[in-house]
Amino acid sequence: MQNSSVPEFIPHPLLWSGHAQTIAAAWLPTRSRVAGRTTRHAVDVSEGDRVVIHEDCPATWSPGDRVAVLVHGLCGSYASGYMVRTASKLMARGVRTFRMDLRGCGAGRNLAANPYHGGRSDDVGHVLTHVSQLCEGSPIAAAGFSLGGSLLLRLIGESSPLVPPQLIKAAAVNAPLDLKRCSLSLKHSAGGRYDRYLARLMFEQVRGTRLWRADVPLARRGSPPSRVTEFDDLYTAPVTGYRDALHYYEECSASPYVGQIEIPTLMIASRDDPLVPIGVYEDVDVSPAVNMVLSERGGHLGYITGRTTDPDRRWMDWRIVEWLTSPADIAVASRHLRAVG
């Protein structure tokens, strides 16, 4: 279902393919900086672990004004380029913004003994609850990127009690809704290069931290895994209580929950995403509350355009910012907050 209110993405002429968009987005330096002083908060989640959220508050912000929470993707952090750019743009619109580090990531690298994974939607819920207490009476919007998008969609679709009434909008970009299909497809994408690259990043992210376990199969190997499914078989599944990678994927995918979402939600995906097959979007049951935009191009978290009416070439950033800060929706949210308050 194409949302006609969202402008069409036209790729930069030098970045026409999904691979080019994906690689450029990952490696081009981010010039954006979040203005002002960033405040860190440690948030308790489950199993005695904590995560860190990074708060950026505009000088003009007042109680009752808009708030946004951003959730990064696989092997990312609060400092990932898309997180910094989006936070900077939201700040410029007067939005108090919180960037979440998933378990063991970013500033919370050694605050968790258990890893993040696709089923840890409650971690996002704990953060949203914490933010709602810090910003009582303010409407909250949330956006997740890649795996962070899946976590957010799963949370709001399963009607978790951790979703505060202040959460009035959500957005997800290139979310791997079906973990099994996405992970298994990696071996065929670009000759398995993405698979090897991500498996190495995942291995490096846990090695040498509190997340490392000497008693899991991965520790007994003489070399890092070469595939994401291998990493999940040898580390993620045994550490988090699943039989194997396939059991983990079946239990933790977001796709069964997308049809149950009641909060207005924007989902963006691209047909040339080399990491997330477009079929996972074409086959999913979508709630009437979801606006799903399937772009012909854009890659994975790429969406770098050429000529544009936006202030810069980052089409994805502006679609997220516009969705999260729509004035009409804020007016509706204000009435909703008064009703539940």
What pLDDT shows up at residue 238? 97
One domain, residues 168 and 185: no
What pLDDT shows up at residue 2? 47
One domain, residues 245 and 299: no
What pLDDT shows up at residue 229? 98
Q: What is the count of structural domains for the chain?
A: 2
What pLDDT shows up at residue 46? 94
* Position 305 in a domain: yes
One domain, residues 160 and 187: no
* Position 115 in a domain: yes
What pLDDT shows up at residue 102? 98
- Residue at which a domain ends, from 223, 252, 281: 252
By the 8 A CB rule, do 149 and 121 touch? Answer: no
At 320, which CATH number? 3.40.50.1820
Cα–Cα nearest to 173, from 273, 252, 29, 87: 273
* Position 32 in a domain: yes
Pick the catalytic residue: 146, 185, 270, 295?
A: 146
Cα–Cα nearest to 209, from 105, 295, 125, 122: 105
One domain, residues 111 and 239: no
One domain, residues 166 and 185: no
* Position 286 in a domain: yes
What pLDDT shows up at residue 159? 86
One domain, residues 140 and 172: yes
Pick the catalytic residue: 101, 273, 295, 317?
A: 273
The domain in which residue 201 lies consists of: 179-252
One domain, residues 66 and 155: yes
One domain, residues 73 and 202: no
* Position 10 in a domain: no
Q: For each of the chain's 341 residues, which pLDDT tens digit applies?
A: 445 588 899 999 999 999 999 999 998 887 777 877 899 999 999 999 999 999 999 999 999 999 999 999 999 999 999 999 999 999 999 999 999 999 999 999 999 999 999 999 999 999 999 999 999 999 999 999 999 999 999 999 998 999 999 999 999 999 999 999 999 999 899 889 999 999 999 999 999 899 999 899 999 887 889 999 999 999 999 999 999 999 999 999 999 999 999 999 999 999 999 999 999 999 999 999 999 999 999 999 999 998 788 999 999 999 999 999 987 555 445 444 444 44
One domain, residues 171 and 204: no
* Position 165 in a domain: yes
Enter the pTM of the model.
Answer: 0.94
- Residue at which a domain ends, from 252, 276, 295: 252
* Position 70 in a domain: yes
Pick the catalytic residue: 19, 117, 130, 300?
A: 300
* Position 5 in a domain: no
- Residue at which a domain ends, from 199, 227, 252: 252
One domain, residues 171 and 220: no
Q: Is 273 a catalytic residue?
A: yes
What pLDDT shows up at residue 258? 97
One domain, residues 166 and 311: yes
One domain, residues 171 and 296: yes
